[in-house]
Amino acid sequence: MKILMVCLGNICRSPLAEGILQSKVHPDKVKVDSAGTAAYHVGELPDTRSIEVARKYGIDITNQRARKFSVNDFDVFDLIYAMDESNYQNMLALARNSEDASKVKMILNETNPGSNNSVPDPYYGGVDGFENVYSMLDEACEKIADKVQ
Ligand code: 4NP
């Protein structure tokens, strides 16, 4: 099983989602990666605020480097989780067929099915925003881990 976490820049939310889910699943059974729909930060480490909040909960995400989502990801991954509505729409616009489109899910629907809630973009806010994102993603990833294992 291969799972991709997607946000806009691939430096704040999706690196946390990748690190959190990978920490909850067997690495031989479930591969987790992340990407951004925009290329602004390609090649960069996660935002220091994401690195710090992950470290606080015992997760090291400093091995990650930002990359841009590509249409090829539809061939590689079984499930693709969007952090927000805009990431979701951007990926659906790239889907080549209904099979591609069916892989794309809103991550917070794992916690609240059918809600279509977005993980708020914490980039322009303070550290509290990253704590909030962490706790939302931790809850959602717990559900995903239960489902895929
Ligand atoms: P992310 O946050 O999508 O959670 O990685 C952002 C990172 C960078 C920007 C926006 C959101 N930016 O505009 O550079």
Mean pLDDT across 75-98: 98
Nearest CA to ligand 1 atom 10: 9
Give the model's confidence band at 140: pLDDT under 50 very low, under 70 low, under 90 confident, else very high. very high
* Atom of ligand 1 lying closest to residue 66 CA: 5
Q: How many CB atoms are located within 10 Å of the residue 1 CB? A: 13
Separation of first and last alpha carbons in the chain: 9
pLDDT at 115: 97
Indicate the top mutation candidate among 6, 7, 11 to test ligand 1's pocket, ranked by most ligand atoms within 8 A of CB.
Answer: 11
Domains within the chain, CATH numbers bracketed: 2-148 (3.40.50.2300)
pLDDT band for 149, please (50, 70, 90 cuts): confident
Question: Rounded to an integer, what distance in angstroms lies between the CA atom of residue 134 and that of residue 137?
Answer: 5
Kindly state the average pLDDT of the residues 76-99.
98
Single-letter amino acid, residue 70: S
Say whether 49 is catalytic: no
Nearest CA to ligand 1 atom 9: 9
Active site residue 121: yes
- Report the percent of the chain where pLDDT is more than 90: 97
What would the pLDDT profile of 28-53 be if each residue is shown by its tens digit? Answer: 999 999 999 999 999 999 999 999 99
Q: For ligand 1, is residue 7 a contact (CB within 6 Å)?
A: yes
CB 37 within 8 A of CB 91: yes
Q: Is 107 in the pocket of ligand 1 (CB under 6 A)?
A: no
The pTM assigned to this predicted structure is 0.98
Average pLDDT, integer, range 71-78:
98
